[in-house]
């Protein structure tokens, strides 16, 4: 008998407020041409009103994932949540989701791997399943990033990239005999990595204990409460680590790139994903991108892509999927999943 972590459903939720590149151009010195050419982004979603929380977006995605799986909230025996933009400094959103969804007093785990939240999350879920610690798991990835962006010319390099959104997966431990089609399905393999020398290359310094005085008025004036990035360094590392991850997972599982039905990469920059695709010599239809409509929703990009890929019929039961992510930390990784 083999024990597999099988994805039963995926869902996503994005707020209704569309913010186009032209809308941002009215707030700062930027242009639709610069943003489109450098990143592939045309618009992103921002929360509809101040005070909408990350857990609210996560809850909307999670409720639909539960419905699609045919599960009640009471069936879930583990919540794994990933975000870099929690409702509160502490606790994380896992426990808030537990309460909001009406789950039992189950464990709720928070992952802080930024854009790699989904790939770390799937690896974690696989471990819980294979060690028989959980059977029905909700993996929720959600972000509300718009309130911390510096929407002025000072912050334009970061402000044009990010959006708000959420995705959720219902994942079930399934036991199958050899020969049963179920034995082929589920999370097959994961590869994760980190390099903390990049911690301050892409980060938001406050609130944080590294700053004496925690948060001072002058820190706010200096813009330390906004995310910062050395874009070119991140870009170069992203391409290298994404390729390394893809090649590691392919080699370890005896696969050629052409045998993957769909690559679902993190959505940080269309040029990054195109470079990875070209290096793997795959046609455009084998890589799913939607950065044009949502920008970078950090932990939520891959689940939003998976949810849309299912809705568009590009991801079906039996499809072989490769997820790939790189983000702040640096963290990176990928998962090979038979849908």
Active site residue: 269, 273, 290, 296, which one?
296
Smallest CA-to-CA distance from 103 within 81, 69, 72, 127 is with 72
Binding of ligand ACO at residue 257 (CB under 6 A)? no
**Pick from 162, 163, 144: nearest CA to 58:** 144
If binding is defined by CB under 6 A, does position 85 make contact with ligand ACO? no
Secondary structure class of 128 (helix, strand, coil): helix
Query: Which is nearer to ligand ACO, 186 or 327 (by Cβ)?
Result: 327
User: Which listed range, 186-194, 234-242, 245-253, 284-292, lies at the site for ligand ACO (CB under 6 A)?
Assistant: 234-242
Report the nearest approach of ligand ACO to the CB of residue 327 (Å): 3
CA dist 136 and 172 (Å) reads 5
75 is an interface residue for ligand ACO by CB under 6 A: no
- 269 lines the binding site for ligand ACO (CB under 6 A): yes
The correct pick among 39, 53, 83, 146 for binding ligand ACO (CB under 6 A) is 39
Q: In the bound complex, what is the minimum distance in angstroms from residue 93's beta carbon to ligand ACO?
A: 16
Distance of CA 274 to the CA centre of its chain: 18
Pick from 46, 120, 235, 294 the residue near ligand ACO by CB under 6 A. 235
- Let me know: does 158 contact 269? Beta carbons within 8 Å: no
- Of 116-145, which residues contact ligand ACO (CB under 6 A)? none
Binding residues with ligand ACO: total (CB under 6 A)? 22
Is 266 designated active site?
A: yes
Residue 146 touching ligand ACO (CB under 6 A): no
Q: Cα(204)–Cα(206) distance, rounded to whole angstroms?
A: 6
Asked if residues 335 and 123 have their Cβ atoms less than 8 Å apart, the reply is yes
**What pairing do the DSSP bridges indicate for beta strands 108-111 and 136-143?**
unpaired
Pairing of strands 17-20, 43-46: antiparallel
Could you identify the residue written with the tokens 């431990």?
Answer: 173
* 178-217 binders of ligand ACO (CB under 6 A): 202
Q: Six-digit token pair at 170?
A: 């219902």
If the CB atoms of residues 84 and 95 are measured against ligand ACO, the closer one turns out to be 84
> Which two structure tokens, joined as six digits, stand for 201?
């290359």
Catalytically annotated residues: 115, 266, 296
Interface ranges with ligand ACO (CB under 6 A):
30, 34, 38-39, 114-115, 156-157, 160, 202, 231-232, 234-235, 238, 268-269, 272, 296, 298, 327-328
């Amino acid at each position: 008998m083999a024990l597999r972590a099988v994805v039963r459903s995926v869902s996503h939720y994005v707020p209704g407020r569309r913010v186009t590149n032209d809308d941002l151009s009215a707030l700062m010195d930027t242009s639709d041409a610069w943003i489109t050419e450098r990143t592939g982004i045309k618009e992103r979603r921002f929360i509809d009103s101040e005070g909408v929380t990350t857990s609210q977006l996560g809850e909307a995605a999670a409720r639909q994932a539960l419905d699609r799986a045919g599960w009640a909230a009471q069936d879930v025996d583990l919540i794994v949540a990933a975000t870099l933009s929690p409702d509160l400094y502490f606790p994380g959103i896992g426990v808030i989701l537990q309460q909001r969804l009406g789950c039992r007093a189950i464990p709720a785990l928070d992952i802080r791997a930024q854009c790699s939240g989904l790939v770390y999350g799937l690896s974690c879920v696989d471990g819980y399943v294979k060690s028989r610690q959980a059977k029905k798991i909700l993996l929720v990835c959600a972000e509300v990033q718009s309130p911390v962006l510096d929407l002025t010319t000072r912050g334009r390099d970061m402000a044009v990239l990010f959006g708000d959104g959420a995705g959720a997966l219902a994942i079930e431990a399934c036991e199958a005999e050899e020969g049963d089609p179920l034995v082929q399905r589920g999370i097959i393999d994961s590869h994760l990595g980190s390099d903390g020398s990049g911690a301050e290359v892409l980060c938001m310094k406050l609130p944080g204990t590294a700053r004496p005085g925690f948060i001072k008025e002058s820190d706010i004036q200096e813009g330390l409460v906004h995310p910062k990035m050395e874009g070119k360094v991140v870009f170069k590392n992203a391409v290298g680590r994404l390729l390394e991850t893809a090649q590691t997972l392919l080699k370890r599982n005896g696969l050629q790139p052409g045998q993957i039905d769909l690559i679902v990469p993190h959505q940080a920059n269309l040029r990054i994903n195109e470079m990875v695709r070209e290096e793997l010599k795959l046609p455009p239809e084998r890589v799913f991108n939607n950065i044009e409509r949502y920008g970078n929703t950090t932990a939520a990009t891959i689940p939003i892509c998976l949810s849309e890929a299912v809705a568009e019929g590009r991801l079906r039961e039996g499809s072989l999927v490769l997820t790939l992510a790189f983000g702040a930390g640096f963290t990176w990784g990928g998962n090979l999943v038979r849908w």
